[in-house]
Amino acid sequence: MNKFASPIYFWYLNTKLEPSELRRQLREMRKRGVKGVCPHPWPPEFRPETMPSDMSPEYLSDAYLDRFEVIYRECARLGMSCCFYDEAGWPSGSAGGRVRAAHPEEWAPRYRTPEGEQVEPFTPEKAAPLPNLLVSGPAAKFLELTHERFYRRFPGLFGRQIGFAFMDEPRIPSCWKDLRIAWAPDLAETFLKRKGYELAPWIPQLIAETAPPRVSIDYHDLLSQLFVERFLAPVKRWCRAHHILSGGHFGGEDEPERLPHGHGHIMRSLRQMDLPGVDAIWRQVFPGGANRIFPKYASSVARQAGRKHVLGELFAVYGNGVTPEQRCFLADYMLVRGVDLLVLSKIALTNRKQFLLGCRPHFGPADPLWKYSASFHAYCERVAKAVTSGKPEVDTVVYFDQRSAWAGEPYRTASARLREKTAAELLARQCDFDFADDDALSRAVIEDGKLVIGKMAYSSLIVPETKFMAPEAAAAVKRFRSASPRPLLKCSPPAPQLLVSKRVVGRRSIYFCVNESESPLDVTLTLDRAPALFRDPWGSGDCSLPGAVFEWHFEPFGSALFVTGAKGRRQLPAFRWEEVAPALEWRLKPLVRHVIGAEEIEIRRCRGKARPAELGEWAPFLGADFSGDAVYSCSFTTERRSLWLDLGKVCFCASVKLNGRELGSLFRSPFRFDLTPALKRGRNRLEVTVGNTLANALAAPGVRERIVRDFPPESPYEERQRAFEKESLCGGLWGPVRFGTKIYDTTNEGEQS
């Protein structure tokens, strides 16, 4: 069983941990298909100045662990997994400031500036003070306060119900400010021992970013080594000794050329996790955006280490206007690039007062689309199981040039652009690949004409232009005779927007294909063998394909799973649609409204009457600030015994009832429903319930000003989230609505079911 297949949710513990409320919320999550949760504490000491919280009992106290016993027992009763989040907020390593408090001066983050050595002030009144993870000592104290505290209380759950520890953005002392570099008391001495020359003469140039490339590379290489040796490796060893996986991600992995993020060397740091990961927040990945290749860093490390799973933290600060189509786009973006364990952010214990704005989106019942989300959770689980089955088929490896980033400009920017360009060109040709840095290449061997790195063997190696490759890595490259990259399948005509991953399970192959364009895509695909089937990732079942070569229609941002060496139980379905009769008269009635109340998001039943309405934007009928559910109703007459319904464009989710009988709900397009089970000859009454997002209610006049006035301070994410939400201020059934019949295709043409 793949216990990490289903997505899990961050569960922000940001108020009093009342046992009855903890149980109630877990039951609600399970009702919507959530099978895993990651309790994420937000105690008062996390960020008292910018993100105040009244969480109690006290973080890491006996009473606090009592509440976790409630959580673990209820999760076990519901069949839910529960991972261990290792920090009070983030970044990991401070135990809510307790690590630094043990030795406020000795373990303080340090920097070198033009004026000399600078020590980070100890200011718990502003935020939980961070320790310096470049020095020895903080790692052991951190593990003692957090991991060992939980293990002593719940030893039987580690490796069973608790499968992994989530480490969130641990970092080297951050250099966001200009004219300073990270430092440790023994850094100069250690530099001399490992690099063979004095660091002191070069410090002014390192601060000014004018040091020779060799010096800059050596300095950053040492920082990365110390970060691994003194913090990341001890945490990994502890987790392995206590039967759980070490997992998580680092800050700024989408921009590894930006050194101030503090991950040191993203590939080297990720290798210190059994469950390496990335995050996508504030729309780092978004339809039409400048989406980068960073998920491949974690999936490459995992594959080469023989690890099955890769973690992805998604959606934080995307705002409450993120639509079902956009949610699926982000999930697919990660899944097709090898990230399968999706951690979704967030469900909060409370959305009251200052958390009415807070970090968004608000998932859970506050979200009008929450009631439709079970199918999205099931979709992610089906695809995750597919993309972690068997072994990955990856023939190509690309050199990851960290040393050019360390060398400074202009090499830093040039290497990042080359890496992104190379990756884009490969993916556009349906060629999957992994990355390998100098460390990995230095350990590579050549066997049977392939470049073997850990558990992976590659026929093709691509090295973008570089001046700074490590000698051991360069020697491996020189010995290897590279072949040309091979696509995973044949696609005609060429479709750069079609992304493909492939897994091999015995004599079968599984292809996951994603159209990353907002336009539909019609192509002819050639798989590796016949017979073959289409496996609907939304759960309608398996359908036989006409052979290894077939035509396929992808919806905008649509996806498909294909399996070779197997036959489906049904033929591939298609539809014959007709335009709806102009005599249909629609009426619209509000059902449930989500309102930003005085202190909480209120869900109110509506008492309004149905009135005539046109299809399209529903704001003229319900108001621009309407968030929630409304029902469209009409009557039609037919003599058919079988009929399908296509709703066309919906903003954003829909459920259908015919003659009083529920016929299901759909999370995203295409919105097609089989009316046959409730269809009558003669007159039929159709009801279509539509839900939109919470963005409209949040954008209502005066809401932001009122909350900031009554419950300061304003969320530091507010400007960014509110700008995002303006893009999704709509709702309603747009159509065109069509009736039709389902047919079974006997040619090579098929449409996604």
Per-residue pLDDT of 46-81, as tens digits, reads 999 999 999 999 999 999 999 999 999 999 999 999
77-115 pLDDT, tens digit per residue, is 999 999 999 999 999 999 999 999 999 999 999 999 999
Instruction: Give pLDDT, residue 605.
Output: 97
Q: Sorting pLDDT into bands at 50, 70 and 90, what band is 751? A: very low
- Kindly tell me if the per-residue pLDDT of 275 is higher than 90: yes
Write out the DSSP string of 295-342.
Answer: HHHHHHHHHHTT----EEEE-TTS-TT--HHHHHHHHHHHHHTT--EE
Is residue 464 within 8 Å of 418, Cβ to Cβ? Answer: yes
- Kindly tell me if the per-residue pLDDT of 579 is higher than 80: no
* Lowest mean per-residue pLDDT among 59-68, 168-177, 326-335, 621-630: 168-177
342-393 pLDDT, tens digit per residue, is 999 999 999 999 999 999 999 999 999 999 999 999 999 999 999 999 999 9
Q: Sorting pLDDT into bands at 50, 70 and 90, what band is 651? A: very high
Q: Sorting pLDDT into bands at 50, 70 and 90, what band is 261? A: confident
Residue position matching structure tokens 């530091």 = 716
Write out the DSSP string of 710-742.
Answer: HSPSPPTTHHHHHHHHGGG---EEEE--EEEEE
Which tokens in the block code for residue 296? 């491949």
Neighbour tally for 615: CB within 10 Å? 19
- Kindly tell me if the per-residue pLDDT of 750 is higher than 70: no
CA 402, distance to chain mean position in Å, is 24
149-200 pLDDT, tens digit per residue, is 999 999 999 999 999 999 999 999 987 667 899 999 999 999 999 999 999 9
**How far is the C-alpha of 673 from the C-alpha of 657, rounded, in Å?**
10
Q: Sorting pLDDT into bands at 50, 70 and 90, what band is 582? A: low
Listed in order, strand segments (DSSP E) in 349-497 are: 391-392, 396-399, 433-436, 445-447, 450-453, 456-458, 460-462, 490-492
Which tokens in the block code for residue 748? 């090579």
Is residue 596 within 8 Å of 707, Cβ to Cβ? Answer: yes
- Domains of the chain (ranges; CATH) run 8-387 (3.20.20.80), 396-479 (no CATH), 490-571 (2.60.40.1180), 578-692+730-743 (2.60.120.260)
Instruction: Give pLDDT, residue 20.
Output: 98
Q: 694, 667, 688: which is closest to 738 by C-alpha?
A: 688
**How far is the C-alpha of 88 from the C-alpha of 48, rounded, in Å?**
12
- Ramachandran region of residue 96, left (φ > 0), alpha (ψ -120 to 50) or beta? left
Average pLDDT over residues 233-258: 94
**How far is the C-alpha of 661 from the C-alpha of 687, rounded, in Å?**
10
Instruction: Give pLDDT, residue 270.
Output: 98
The residue among 747 and 262 whose pLDDT is bigger is: 262
Neighbour tally for 586: CB within 10 Å? 17
Percent of the chain whose predicted confidence (pLDDT) is above 70: 97
Provide φ and ψ at 331, rounded to 5°. Answer: -60, -45
**How far is the C-alpha of 230 from the C-alpha of 136, rounded, in Å?**
6
Contacts of 583 (CB under 8 A, 6+ apart): none
Q: 620, 566, 553, 556: which is closest to 588 by C-alpha?
A: 620
Instruction: Give pLDDT, residue 581.
Output: 59
- Kindly tell me if the per-residue pLDDT of 431 is higher than 70: yes
Q: Sorting pLDDT into bands at 50, 70 and 90, what band is 598? A: very high
Average pLDDT, the chain: 95
**How far is the C-alpha of 190 from the C-alpha of 199, rounded, in Å?**
10
Instruction: Give pLDDT, residue 258.
Output: 78
Percent of the chain whose predicted confidence (pLDDT) is above 90: 93
Q: Sorting pLDDT into bands at 50, 70 and 90, what band is 202? A: very high
- Report the run of H or E that residue 649 belongs to, with start and end: strand 649-651
Instruction: Give pLDDT, residue 2.
Output: 58
Instruction: Give pLDDT, residue 753.
Output: 33
Cα–Cα distances in angstroms (integers) from residue 31 to residues 26, 34, 367, in the given order: 9, 7, 15
Is residue 571 within 8 Å of 546, Cβ to Cβ? Answer: no
- Kindly tell me if the per-residue pLDDT of 266 is higher than 50: yes
Q: Sorting pLDDT into bands at 50, 70 and 90, what band is 578? A: confident
Neighbour tally for 137: CB within 10 Å? 15
